[in-house]
Amino acid sequence: MSIRTPPNAAPVGLYTAEERARRDATIWTPVQGILAPLQFVVFLVSLALVIRYLSTGEGYVAATWSIVIKTGVLYLIMITGAIWEKVVFGQYLLAPAFFWEDVFSCLVIALHTAYIWALFSGALSPVPLMWLALAAYGAYVINAAQFVLKLRAARLQAASTHSEVPV
């Protein structure tokens, strides 16, 4: 049984009426709404700790733990986001509405995972590890911006569609 929206259903913004109803009814929407800002706060704290370590040489353990925690939160939001996408769009990843965001999310996950692998395998020394973390964080910022811009555009499109309806 598939919950895919029929191709003749016209979306308003990112969602068809059926997808919007599923989005609004699922617990995974507020979960994403909580995890996204939480991840951003964890990112900001971690970024400060990484920059502190790179600029002073102090705080390696705190910076390292912050990156591990950031990666854990990233995995959590990625897993719950895939579940959300399945509920709303009928597939776990790469739904047309979020295709490029999901593709770039895979790069973000790959860079964070490379950091974890390099940390636990000893493949990189501390300074290159922190630069790898910064590369992962740069990709994360781009990916977060993709999602924010997509959701903002969807809200503007939905608002303009509603305002065009005669009263």
Structure tokens that stand for 118 in this block: 């390099």
Tens digits of per-residue pLDDT, 145-154? Answer: 999 998 888 7
On whether residue 4 sits in a domain, the answer given is no
Contacts of 165 (CB under 8 A, 6+ apart): none
Structure tokens that stand for 77 in this block: 């939001």
Does residue 22 contact residue 87 with C-beta atoms inside 8 Å? yes
On whether residue 125 sits in a domain, the answer given is yes
On whether residue 161 sits in a domain, the answer given is no
Tens digits of per-residue pLDDT, 38-84? Answer: 999 999 999 999 999 999 999 999 999 999 999 999 999 999 999 99
Does residue 119 contact residue 64 with C-beta atoms inside 8 Å? yes
On whether residue 164 sits in a domain, the answer given is no
Structure tokens that stand for 16 in this block: 């068809």
pTM, two decimal places: 0.85
On whether residue 89 sits in a domain, the answer given is yes
On whether residue 39 sits in a domain, the answer given is yes
Task: Please count the structural domains in the chain.
Answer: 1
Range of the domain at 88: 17-155
